[in-house]
Amino acid sequence: MAHGAEVELQGRPLPRIRTSLAYTYTSTQILNQPFAFDPLLMKGQPLLRRPKHSATALINYLGRRWGADLNGSFVGRRADSDFLGFGITHAPGYVLVNAGVQYVLPAAAVAASPRPASDAIALVLGGLGASVVSAGMALSMLVTLNGTTMSGARVPFAAARDGYFFPSVARVHPRFLTPSTAILLQLGLAVTLLLVGQNFRQLFTLAIFAEWLFYMITASTVFVFRKREPNTVRPYRVWGYPVVPALFVLAAAVLLYNIFIQSLHKGGSESSGILAGMPLVILAGVPVFYHFRRQRLV
């Protein structure tokens, strides 16, 4: 369980100077840990490596052709363990300070470049350096895709396991113990989107739209469960309910509306035809859900 508060102040004392100060307080507690083998993991102890106090400070200057920034972060003392019995119980707090000056590409060149990071490295280190950076970015994307693939496939897997989707999608591979059918289904949908999509911007916009749509839906379930199960024991209650979740749902709805409207207004290769058809795809899933729901209740 965790609860806390965060305060952030941002300012622009001059047109090209931006400042930011942030402070976070977090209080954590382990509620249940039946297999704890370390005293620090027992019920009632704070979560490991979660500092109570942390803060950041930033001052940034952005000129027409060069920029500079100075930022620092503070992480307070926190409970920790080596899990090997050497007696480590806490990690000390620390302060990290970074300073940097950049003068590679002007703002107009960054905005016009499809690969500003590679272009900047190419100016400094040449083509070989740009290739190394591009390879690193590709490796990072591959690692992210691996995690997304393994986690995303479990959504249709869980729906099928609960009886709300085709039963075959709930199949678990006998050797690797992975939702193999759900992964293949996800692969088919991904290939279809790649073939139908016109450019990377379309697919990126579609991914952001879908993620924030489910963020909004997830946050809205707080109201549903509070009304449906008012007497359920809740170890953690949403701070500021109902204002905080309502503001989040409202902000997410505004973001989704702006993304959808902008995608309709853009023309040519920048259009997001896939996103324009997203409401139809979502609505098509409603009768499918109720079909499996009726079968489940029979």
100 bridge partner residues: 69
Is 271 or 192 the better-scoring residue by pLDDT?
A: 192
Count CB atoms within 10 A of the CB of residue 177: 8
Q: What is the largest CA-CA distance in the chain?
A: 68
Answer yes or no: are the C-beta atoms of 95 and 72 closer than 8 Å. Answer: yes
pLDDT at 149: 81
The mean pLDDT value for 158-178 works out to 90
Q: What percent of the chain has pLDDT over 70?
A: 88
Query: Looking at the predicted structure, is the pLDDT value of residue 242 above 80?
Result: yes
Query: Looking at the predicted structure, is the pLDDT value of residue 108 above 50?
Result: yes
Categorize the per-residue pLDDT at 268 as very low, low, confident or very high, splitting at 50, 70 and 90: very low
- Hey, what are 283's tokens? 């609505």
Helix (H) or strand (E) holding 126: helix 116-152
Categorize the per-residue pLDDT at 88 as very low, low, confident or very high, splitting at 50, 70 and 90: low
Measured in degrees and rounded to the nearest 5, phi and psi for residue 5 equal -150, 155
* pTM of the predicted structure, to 2 decimals: 0.54
Query: Looking at the predicted structure, is the pLDDT value of residue 95 above 90?
Result: yes
How high does pLDDT run on average in the chain? Answer: 83
The mean pLDDT value for 188-207 works out to 80
pLDDT at 62: 82
Q: Which of 252, 258, 289, 78 is nearest to 163 (CA)?
A: 289
> Looking up tokens 């990071």, which residue turns up?
117
Whole-angstrom Cα distance, residue 177 to residue 173? 5
Could you read off the pLDDT of 10-61 as tens digits, one per residue?
A: 999 998 899 999 999 998 888 776 556 666 677 778 888 889 999 999 999 9
